[in-house]
Homo-oligomer: A and B are copies of this chain.
C-alpha cells in the first residue's frame, strides 16, 4: 500500500528510523554494562516491543496491568509495573503472578507495603516489590536519605511480599537542557537510587535491584556505578520534546500523523487539515521549551506548525505568522505531522502504519490502550 492511499488521519511509523533509535540506546546502555529494561508504555505494541528487546535478555517495564496482560500473553515474562500499586489492582496482579508472570510491583509507603504484604499472606503469594525513590523531588517516592522510612517499608514486606530493591524515575530531567544538564540529572538519579540501596543494605536488607531511568538521562549518563538496570521507552520513537531537550534531532523522530489538507483560510493564509487533537493529542509539551511547536511540526517544512486543534480539525500556519502560499498546498495535499510527545500522540491511535525508506506502507501493527 502506498502512503497516498491511506485514509487520513493515520499514525505512521518509520521503521528504519525506529531501528536506528533502538540501536543508539542499546549501544549507550551496553557501554555501562547494565541491563536495559525497555518501557513499553509508549509503544503498546507487541511488534514494537520485540524490536526494542531484540538482543536483550532482561525484562520489560509497563505502566498499566493491561500492558502486563498483553505483553505476558505475547511471551514477555519479566514485567515491572512501574506505577505505585493501588489496593484495587492487587487481585489483577495476583492473577498474572499465578499464571506465571514474574511481575514486580512498586510502592513508597508503609501503608502500601502493609496492604501488599497482607494481601500476599491472605492469598498465599509472595509479591515481588521495589521501593520507589524520589531522586529529584519530582513526584512520588521515598527520599533517598530517609533510612527510617526505607527500613520500615522493608520490614513490613517481610511476609507475603519480597523486597527486590529500589527504583527511581528522574522525571525532573524533562526540565534539563543539553548534554551537561542531562548528565548532571542522570547522576542525581543514579546517586539517589544507590544511596537508598546502601541504606537498606546497611539496615540488613537484601537489595539486589537498583533500577533507574528516563529517556533523557539514559542517553546522557556518564557513570552508572551501582545501578543494575535502566528503564526508558520514548527513545524508540523520539519526539519534538526530546528534540527540544537536545536528546535527539528532529530527523530522528520515527512516528508522525498523516493528514490531508481539507480547506484553506485564504484571508489568513492558513491550511485546514483533518488531524485535530483526536489524532495529534492535546499534548503541548514544547510550549515551555525554546521552540514552541504548537500541536506538531509539519515534516519537511521547518516553519509550518499546527497552531490550533479542534477535535477533527487542525490549523497549519507559518510559525512567524506569514501567510502561506496556499497554491502550494491544494485541497488533498498529504502532510505528515511530527508529535510533541510520542506517548500521547500514539495513544490516540489503534494501529501503526509501518513504512520503509521509500514511504511504502508495508505492515499494519496493532496497538492497544486502556486499563
Contacts and interface: CB of A to CB of B under 8 A. Distances in A.
B139 A313 contact: yes
A371 B9 contact: yes
Interface in A276-318: 277-279, 281-284, 310-313, 315
Copies held by the complex: 2
B278 A10 contact: no
Interface centre among A41, A279, A310, A350 (most CB of B within 10 A): A310
Contact of A370 (B65, B111, B350, B371): B350
Nearest to A139: B313
Interface stretch (A189-197, A245-253, A260-268): A260-268
Given A7-B92, A64-B312, A272 B86 contact: no
A331 interface: yes
Contacts of A265: 139-140
A282 B344 contact: yes
A262 B83 contact: yes
B109 A264 contact: yes
A347 interface: yes
Contacts of A188: none
A278 to B, nearest CB: 6
A59 interface: no
Contact residues of A: prevailing secondary structure: loop
Nearest to A92: B7
Given A8-B86, A86-B8, A87-B332, A278 B310 contact: no
Contact of A310 (B86, B139, B370): B139
A43 B354 CA distance: 30
Contact of A343 (B87, B107, B283, B311): B311
A84 to B, nearest CB: 4
Contact of A282 (B5, B41, B260, B283): B283
A274 interface: yes
Interface of A: 4-10, 41, 63-65, 83-89, 92, 107-109, 111-112, 115, 139-140, 171, 260-265, 272, 274, 277-279, 281-284, 310-313, 315, 330-332, 343-344, 347-350, 369-371
24 contacts: A4-B88, A5-B88, A7-B88, A8-B89, A63-B278, A63-B311, A85-B262, A86-B260, A86-B274, A86-B331, A87-B260, A88-B260, A108-B263, A111-B330, A111-B331, A112-B263, A112-B331, A115-B332, A139-B265, A139-B310, A140-B265, A282-B283, A349-B370, A350-B370
Given A9-B371, A63-B312, A87-B331, 5 more contacts: A64-B278, A87-B332, A109-B263, A111-B331, A140-B262
